[in-house]
Amino acid sequence: MEWIEKLDGNVIVSDENGRIIYMNERALAQYEKEGGRDLIGRDLLECHSESSRKKILEIMTSGEKNVYTIEKKGRKKIICQSPWFVDGKFRGIIELSLVIPAEMPHYIRD
């Protein structure tokens, strides 16, 4: 799965207990100052603010995704935090963070 390693965005995966089990190359580089590869095995809740911890716990209990945009250092990003399941059982959260244009078209395709 080399494509996920080379993706122009962050991919972080946790297990059902909130432990980080995977970070792609971009995510490792992004979080180098916070520990980089040493973050693997750490609890997601330890790495986030109180409001973010509440949202993570909500995803873990509800199974609903959380999607939003942010702007950081002049770059706009879309963040998608989605639960992942195996045989219908919650197995963790995947967070995908991609840089997006400040203005972008929106299409309705019915």
Residue with tokens 């095995």: 41
* pLDDT computed for residue 48 by the predictor: 86
* pLDDT computed for residue 38 by the predictor: 96
| pLDDT, tens digit only, all 110 positions of the chain | 789 998 999 999 999 999 999 999 999 999 999 999 999 999 999 888 899 999 999 999 999 999 999 998 899 999 999 999 999 999 999 999 999 999 999 999 99
Collapsed DSSP state (helix, strand, coil) of residue 16: coil
Sheet holding 89-100, edge to edge: 20-23, 9-14, 89-100, 75-86, 66-72
Name the phi and psi angles at 62, rounded to 5.
-90, -25
Q: Taking the mean position of all CA atoms in its chain, how far away is CA 17? A: 15
| Cβ neighbours of 71 (radius 10 Å) | 9
Domains, in order of start, for the chain = 2-100 (3.30.450.20)
Collapsed DSSP state (helix, strand, coil) of residue 21: strand
Closest CA to 47 of 63, 61, 64, 30: 30
Give dist(CA 25, CA 20) in Å, integer. 14
For residue range 50-67, list pLDDT tens digits in order: 999 999 999 999 999 999
